[in-house]
Amino acid sequence: MSTTTPAWERVQLARKADRPHSLDYVNALINGFVELHGDRRHSDDPAMIAGIGAFNGRTVMAIGHQKGSNTRENLDRNFGMPNPDGYRKALRIFRHAEKFGFPLICFIDTPAADPGLGSEERGQATAIAENLLALASLRVPSVGVVIGEGGSGGALAISVTDRLLMLENAVYAVASPEACAAILWKDSNAAPQAAEALKLTAQDLKRFGIIDEIVPEPEPAHDASDATIQRTGEAIERHLGEIEAIADRPAGIDRLLELRYEKYRGIGAWVDEQEELIGELPVGVPGTSTPESTSD
Amino acid sequence: MPDFFRRKPTFNREDVSAEDGPVVPDGLWVKCQKCKDLVYSKDFERWFRVCPKCDFHARLSASQRIEYVLDSGSFEEWDRGIVTSDPLEFSANGDVYREKVKSTTRKAGQPEALVTGRGRIRGYDAAVAVTEFRFLGASMGSAFGEKFARVVERAVDQRLPFISISNSGGARMHESTFSLMQMAKTTAALSRLGEHKLPHISVLTDPCYGGVTASYAMVADVIIAEPGAMVGFAGPRVIEQITRQKLPDGFQTAEFLLEHGMIDMISRRSELPGTLSLLLLHYADAFLGRHQPGYAMSGQSRNGEAR
């Protein structure tokens, strides 16, 4: 694919139903993969898969959003949108990996976290937040790969990893282009413009330093499934090898956690204009705070 | 009493914005957004902008919140100069983000959607972060995340407990993935706070959604919400549109969250400083060592001098 492919086209490619999904990667890359089910709280969420197996000779735990390849599968998998049970299953697997010292590999491919009534009742926001907290200080090496759609907090909840990779035609943004268009353009038909403005392609995110590597797709993944999966496996191995080398030194895990903290601590684009802001905040100064409703 | 007996107040609707709280017809009376009753505005202010008739908790600006919760004169603001640098050079439909930040700064009277610093609550020192909803719906952009990480890191350095008081629409679309990553950044900062045995108390106020609830606001040691505050992940309109489910009465209210085990308690605005200071007293054993009298006493005496 060319580097000038429009963002909207990438979105279409990232969403292709016949693009390889998490289980395709896991089954091809992880030998003797045993899928583990359930959050031990409420249910087993088919939109999130998890398990244990051997990746290039070492035991790893793998987690991924799971989309379907057709409508029937997608209905079963809730289009890859996990509910809180899915995120709590992931959390159980994080802890499991930590307990046994197994590296963690995450495959990210979701339009969003499930926005349903039951999800709200069981604390969707809390479930995602707890995963972010757990991943920030998880004492094992971790690699994440955005293989298709990286949709907002639902994607982030399994992607706060030491290394974050992205397939060339994958996308990752805070909201879907349709939702962004509906809110800021007041017109969901403006999704192509919104996709462009959201800077959601792997090329943009590499430039911003948010991801560590782009896994190339000389042919789009849906046309070259095996080659894409193999190339992804090689990239995961390279990064996992690097961070394992850090982790294996004395106090290496602490160093790894420090690096992980710095990685996410450093993401942001801001300036300090302290000098230019001479105005004092009127709070805490008696008599200067006024109710806004009269003047606003 | 039937409303038609009451004289209609005369005021110009254009002068007021319904979003920002109850409407004040002529400066003397406030019309409650919920029960539509008129309240004498001085009473309304004295009740911390809570309707004395129906208990509706009106939204507050960050500065009002700080004034109500912290001891008078105790707030020291940090990092006021941190502002966004518009990483995406974002514009939507001719609406330029950079310009929007300028105009919203004037409107909100704050240069970002988060105000941070340290202060005292009934004599107890704490680091605090308070959202400003009038600044782009207190959405979480890069500057928000940076200020949040800094206040938490300073809480660690100065051995202070941390209190966040939030309402927010969630992510800041104009900063896309940068905005998303602030969820990871703020939460990572809190994991450090926890390692140092410093408590995080989160206060959720109306409305609190998306990026903020799915990150720092919901991973506190104690979570308190104001009565009637709407709190959730996805907004009710989005849920109804996507799932076509009819949502039950009281869905996503603070009371709904309490019932579902998502928060520890509901605290009325007038009781919040008392609740927070009592909790701070209890947690002091963890970060100052057991039965340290100095925390409370030094705070109270300094507070006494300040008043």
Size of interface A-B (CB pairs under 8 A): 263
Label residue A295 by pLDDT band (50, 70, 90): very low
Kindly report, residue by residue over B158-190, the tens digit of the pLDDT. 999 999 999 999 999 999 999 999 999 999 999
Q: If you measure CA to CA, which chain A residue comes closest to B246?
A: A117
Distance CA(A203)–CA(A201), nearest Å, equals 5
C-alpha dist (Å) from residue A294 to B16, B32, B57, B197:
7, 14, 17, 43
Q: Within 13 Å, how many C-alpha atoms sit on residue B113's CB side?
A: 26
Kindly report, residue by residue over A116-134, the tens digit of the pLDDT. 999 999 999 999 999 999 9
User: What pTM was computed for the model?
Assistant: 0.89
- Which residues of chain B neighbour A210 with C-beta distances below 8 Å? 177-178, 181
* Percent of chain B predicted with pLDDT > 70: 86
Q: If you measure CA to CA, which chain A residue comes closest to B234?
A: A115
Least CB-CB distance to A129: which of B79, B95, B218? B218
Kindly report, residue by residue over A209-235, the tens digit of the pLDDT. 999 999 999 999 999 999 999 999 999
DSSP run (H or E) holding B237: helix B236-243
B interface test, pick of A41, A87, A120 with most B CB neighbours within 10 Å: A120
SS3 helix, strand, coil % of chain A, rounded to 5?
Answer: 45, 20, 35
Distance CA(B303)–CA(B73), nearest Å, equals 9
The yes/no answer to whether this complex scores an ipTM above 0.85 is yes
Mean pLDDT value across residues A159-179: 97
Q: Pick the more confident residue, B298 or B252.
A: B252
Q: If you measure CA to CA, which chain A residue comes closest to B12?
A: A294
A192 and chain B: CB distance < 8 Å anywhere?
A: no
Q: Which amino acid is at A179?
A: A
Residue A267: both structure tokens together: 């993401």
Helix (H, G, I), strand (E, B), or coil: what is residue A60?
strand
Whether residue B112 has pLDDT greater than 90: yes
Least CB-CB distance to A277: which of B81, B177, B248? B81
DSSP run (H or E) holding B238: helix B236-243
Largest CA distance in chain B: 63
Mean pLDDT value across residues B100-114: 95
Q: What is the pLDDT of residue A2?
A: 60
Mean pLDDT value across residues B113-117: 98
Least CB-CB distance to B81: which of A268, A273, A294? A273
Kindly report, residue by residue over A29-70, the tens digit of the pLDDT. 999 999 999 999 999 999 999 999 999 999 999 999 999 999
Label residue B82 by pLDDT band (50, 70, 90): very high
Q: What is the pLDDT of residue B297?
A: 47
Residue A164's beta-bridge partner residues? A144
Residue B137: both structure tokens together: 């719906």
| Residues within 8 A of B (CB atoms), A 25-54 only | none
Q: Do A180 and B173 touch (CB under 8 A)?
A: yes
Q: Do A199 and B177 touch (CB under 8 A)?
A: yes
Order across the sheet with B222-225: list the strands.
B76-78, B114-121, B124-131, B162-168, B200-208, B222-225, B265-266
Distance CA(B248)–CA(B238), nearest Å, equals 15
Q: What is the pLDDT of residue B287?
A: 83
CB distance A85 to A121 below 8 Å: no
Mean pLDDT value across residues A185-206: 95
Q: What is the pLDDT of residue B26?
A: 59
Residue B248: both structure tokens together: 């039950």
Whether residue B294 has pLDDT greater than 70: no
B interface test, pick of A42, A132, A275 with most B CB neighbours within 10 Å: A132
Question: What does the DSSP 8-state code read for residue B42?
Answer: H
- Which residues of chain A neighbour B75 with C-beta distances below 8 Å? 281, 283-284
Q: φ, ψ for residue B32 (rounded to 5)?
A: -65, 135
Q: If you measure CA to CA, which chain B residue comes closest to A161?
A: B184
Residue carrying the six token digits 């003797």: A32
Q: Provide the Cα torsion B246, B248, B254, B257; round to 10°.
A: -90
Q: What is the pLDDT of residue B243?
A: 87
Distance CA(A167)–CA(B125), nearest Å, equals 48
CB distance B148 to B189 below 8 Å: yes
